[in-house]
Structure 1
Amino acid sequence: MLKKFTSLFPLWAVLLSVVAYFYPEYFAPHKGLIVPFLSLIMLGMGVTLSVDDFLAVLKKPSVVVLGTVMQYTLMPFFAWIICIMLNLPTELMAGVVLLGCCPGGTASNVICYLAKGDVALSIVLTSVSTMIAFLATPFLTWLYIGQTVNVDVMGMLVSVVKIVLVPVVFGLSINYFFEEKISKIRDIFPAISALAIVIIIAVIIGVNRGSLESMGPLVLLAVVLHNGLGLAGGYGVAKALKLSETEARTIAIEVGMQNSGLSVALAIKHFTAAAALPGAIFSIWHNLSGAFLAGHWSRDSLHDDKSGKPELSGNPLE
């Protein structure tokens, strides 16, 4: 039941967003819930991780380094290019670039599983990019838009530590010391995270009801381009470097799917409510595009041989 609820996350996000658009008065006043709810999501992520997940880095260090570097080079660059191409207003530019400078999103792990990618690698990539976000996200945001928008690098660094690093480490510690008890209720954490992010999206839609009417299509176009370039860029670079099909799929999903909840929280805290709009729309879109891509890839069973070259089978049940 909980897994079914979690798997239908994009549907809940769309439905509640529609409700928030037509009845913003029920959601807009609850802007203060965004940061604590995101911390709750990060705590849930930490609880579902184990020390073994991080030790897995040692097995494929080059792939993990490559995926992380691509996360923090391709996505910020694509975001900046899109902002220039579309001539976005300053507050939207801040939101799109901030989104591009965030780590990978936890939803990528589920999409990776559905796309027959390397789930263990996906978890490690998400974890590593999240753990270094307290340095990477503020610095890259300043690097790309510091000349245009006032970026409080130290304030943002402190925010990421509080919102992401502390809850993840706390959750990891809980899992380490109470693994047996946690294993019995582990499925509840993704469901709680899904519910929390749906509420966050609805609040942002409610807060930005007026902005959506005038800037909604432009933001959607920016988000679709950003996500599409991330997916294509991650896959293309991985294949160009002769990585296996499984690894290429995994990196594509990790690079293309951002922690949009974090961008929303940071935008609200350090920029404007309108700057949070790209992250809110991205939260919905990247799950829809990811699910579509996973459906396309899952039609064939995939086996990587020892040389790293993929072998495809037409039997999806193999």
Structure 2
Amino acid sequence: MESIMPLLHYLRAMMELKFFPEKTHMNSQIFCNATTDISGDIPESAGELSQYEKVIETLTTLFPVWVVLGAIVGIYKPTAVTWLATDLFSLGLGFLMLSMGLTLTFEDFRRCLQNPWTVGIGFLAQYLIKPMLGFAIAMTLKLSAPLATGLILVACCPGCQASNVATFIAKGNVALSVLMTTCSTIGAIIMTPLLTNLLAGQLVPVDAVGLALSTFQVVLVPTIVGVLANELFPKFTSKIITITPLIGVILTTLLCASPIGLASDALKAQGAQLVLPVVFLHAASFALGYWVSRISFGESTSRTISIECGMQSSAFGFLLAQKHFTNPLVAVPSAVSVVCMALGGSALAVFWMNRPIPLDDKDDFKE
């Protein structure tokens, strides 16, 4: 019963958000749109949401629920989700990156250069703290070579779109969250294969070139295409942007359920051995990301960096494991991480949602 309490709290919070809009007005575009006020404050709504938008909004904000349901289906009815083969998996992940690109402009990338310190801390947390944690946990718990490699691989993956939703709920800096996700996604082209090779290359052979090529094809190209489409056809993207978050949630659920289904037998056999290290990886990443940030930044920015550090694209890690490692056990930690990441991030977001940001909070990301 205790294991589902964070999910129940999340559902209660979503009901409050829906039926008490005076507390927090939630617009589906705010989740991923980097054009949110740079201070992280949510601009006033230009008007009431239509019933259609409210339905999409509600379905979108319940993303951890769908992930958990997908995981249950994956474990107990794997054939319902394992049809998402490697090629389709790559296509779905690419579409997620495309949908993120549709919410961005080149101006957002300029902001990254204007605020290098804040974004840089998040980048270091993503590619220094978490990979070292993954390596230390794998060595301390003496995981087998394939499982250790899989844990390190998922620790070296970039941030995921779900972190933008969690940041909004946690009253963090939404604009900063999107910029950090974008920077870590682009940085994954170099950092993910480089760090995986450095930390796990001694355990099993790592195809660093293949990892870099896959990252380029699945991450960078769709993101840039989305940004170009947003710049060149703003009227078109403004019409479809309300539905893309829900499509992203559906795809994310499938991309989370498919790894669980494909690894269901291994999960049942290796479950006790894997749950502890994966849970500890995420919990420690959330905690260290927050407390390291508090040294220099305010509460809002620290919450954002914590969520970005603890929530990464486990589905992307699973894809890389499938394509570039012969041992199927390498993909299992990513499958476990999918559920741990979604539940941990949503529970932390709800915890912070009920704790307001101090009025005198310093936020170094403000202009």
Q: Give your verdict on TM over 0.5.
A: yes
CA distance in 1: counterparts of 2:148 and 2:362, whole angstroms? 43
Q: In the TM superposition, what is the alpha-carbon distance from 1:303 to its structure 2 partner?
A: 4.2
Q: Tell me the TM-score normalised to structure 2 length.
A: 0.80
| 1:181 matches 2:236 | yes
Partner of 1:17 in structure 2?
A: 71
Partner of 1:316 in structure 2?
A: none
| 1:213 matches 2:213 | no
CA distance in 2: counterparts of 1:223 and 1:264, whole angstroms? 14
Q: Tell me the TM-score normalised to structure 1 length.
A: 0.92
| 1:127 matches 2:188 | no
Q: How many residues align?
A: 308
181, 202, 225: which is aligned to 1:147? 202
Deviations 1:63-92 (A, max 9, x none): 111111121000100001111122212221
| 1:293 matches 2:345 | no
Partner of 1:156 in structure 2?
A: 211
After the TM superposition, which residues 1-318 of structure 1 pair with which residues of structure 2 at under 5 Å, given as runs?
A: 1-32=55-86, 33-240=88-295, 242-271=296-325, 272-303=327-358, 305=360
Deviations 1:8-41 (A, max 9, x none): 1221122122222222233334322221111111
Q: In the TM superposition, what is the alpha-carbon distance from 1:46 to its structure 2 partner?
A: 0.9
CA 1:304–1:64: 2 relative to 1, 3 Å: farther
Partner of 1:313 in structure 2?
A: none
CA distance in 1: counterparts of 2:242 and 2:340, whole angstroms? 24
CA distance in 2: counterparts of 1:46 and 1:264, whole angstroms? 22
Which range moved further: 25-34 or 197-206? Answer: 25-34
Deviations 1:86-124 (A, max 9, x none): 221222112110111111111111111111111111111
CA distance in 2: counterparts of 1:244 and 1:59, whole angstroms? 19
Tell me, yes or no, if the aligned pair for 2:263 and 2:335 is still in contact at 8 Å. Answer: no
| Root-mean-square deviation (Å) | 1.7
Classify the secondary structure of the residue corresponding to 1:30: coil
Q: In the TM superposition, what is the alpha-carbon distance from 1:48 to its structure 2 partner?
A: 1.6
Which range moved further: 168-177 or 53-62? Answer: 53-62
CA 1:116–1:29: 2 relative to 1, 3 Å: closer
Q: In the TM superposition, what is the alpha-carbon distance from 1:55 to its structure 2 partner?
A: 2.2
CA distance in 2: counterparts of 1:306 and 1:100, whole angstroms? 31
Tell me, yes or no, if the aligned pair for 2:73 and 2:80 is still in contact at 8 Å. Answer: no
CA 1:10–1:273: 2 relative to 1, 3 Å: farther
Classify the secondary structure of the residue corresponding to 1:305: coil
Runs of 4+ in 1 over 6 A off after TM superposition: none
AA of the residue aligned to 1:42: M
CA 1:163–1:89: 2 relative to 1, 3 Å: same
CA 1:57–1:215: 2 relative to 1, 3 Å: same
Deviations 1:237-270 (A, max 9, x none): 1112x21111111111111111112101101111
CA distance in 2: counterparts of 1:235 and 1:100, whole angstroms? 17
Classify the secondary structure of the residue corresponding to 1:302: coil
Q: In the TM superposition, what is the alpha-carbon distance from 1:307 to its structure 2 partner?
A: 5.4
Tell me, yes or no, if the aligned pair for 2:67 and 2:257 is still in contact at 8 Å. Answer: yes
Classify the secondary structure of the residue corresponding to 2:159: coil
Tell me, yes or no, if the aligned pair for 1:244 and 1:304 is still in contact at 8 Å. Answer: no
AA of the residue aligned to 1:22: Y
Deviations 1:191-230 (A, max 9, x none): 1121112112222222112101111232221221011111
AA of the residue aligned to 2:315: G
Fraction of identical pairs, as percent:
36
